[in-house]
Every structure is written in C-alpha cells, then in structure tokens.
C-alpha cells in the first residue's frame, strides 16, 4: 500500500510526461514534471486520500478530494473519467479554454503583493 507522503525524489516506476498534442498540453502543461500519482492503482489512490482525510479531519470534502486526486492522476483524460459528472467536465473544459479569465482585481492584488516583496 502506498502513502500520501510520497517521496518526490524517488522516481521508481514513474515515467516523464512526454510532449503531447495541443489539447493534452493544455491539461498537462509541463512536459518535464513527473506525476507521482501516475503509478498508483485507483484503490491505492483512494486509500491514500482517505488516510489524508482522516488525518486532517476533512471528511466533509471527501467526494471533492477523491475527484481531485483521480483527476490529478491523469488530467489529460478528464473527459473519460467516470468519477466526474457533466458539470465537473464542463468546468474543466472551460478552465482549459479560458486560462486567464479571472477577475482583474485578482491580478492587481497579485501585482501589488509582488511589488510589496521588493521592500522587504
């Protein structure tokens, strides 16, 4: 059984994500990162999420955390994940197509905070 405290330095059983077609690059933008969840079976992944939930007292978020973990395991295939409902898939598709569609106030806040860092 695996642990949610995965050693990121250990790449045993993991493969580097190779460049994919444009659609997949949107879902997985970095071609040099290793997905530490890719080697886990679905049962091990859910077991790890359940342990994390129990450790952190996040029982009310179980469904969302499991969906997120399964999505993180293979984000390029989100349309084929049975665990995601139509609303989830629609939201992911929208985010992929509109990456920078956040409120202007968010960008202003980030810029001001970044400038504030220069004073420290």
The per-residue pLDDT for 90 is 96
Under the phi-then-psi rule, with left for phi > 0, alpha for psi from -120 to 50, and beta for the rest, what region is 18? Answer: beta
Say if residues 84 and 67 touch (Cβ distance below 8 Å). yes
The per-residue pLDDT for 32 is 76
| Alpha helix segments (H runs only) across the chain | 22-27, 42-56, 62-73, 86-97, 104-117
d(CA 113, CA 31): 29
The per-residue pLDDT for 5 is 46
What residues in the chain have per-residue pLDDT under 50?
1-22, 24-25
pTM exceeds 0.75: no
């Amino acid at each position: 059984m695996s642990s949610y405290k995965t050693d990121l330095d250990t790449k045993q059983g993991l493969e580097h994500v190779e460049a994919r077609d444009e659609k997949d690059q949107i879902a997985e933008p970095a071609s040099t990162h290793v997905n530490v969840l890719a080697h886990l079976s679905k049962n091990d992944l859910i077991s790890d999420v359940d342990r994390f939930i129990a450790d952190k007292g996040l029982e009310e978020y179980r469904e969302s955390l499991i969906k997120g973990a399964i999505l993180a395991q293979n984000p390029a295939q989100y349309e084929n994940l049975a665990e995601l409902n139509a609303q989830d898939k629609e939201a992911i598709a929208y985010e992929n197509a509109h990456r920078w569609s956040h409120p202007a106030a968010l960008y202003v806040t980030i810029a001001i905070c970044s400038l504030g860092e220069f004073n420290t």
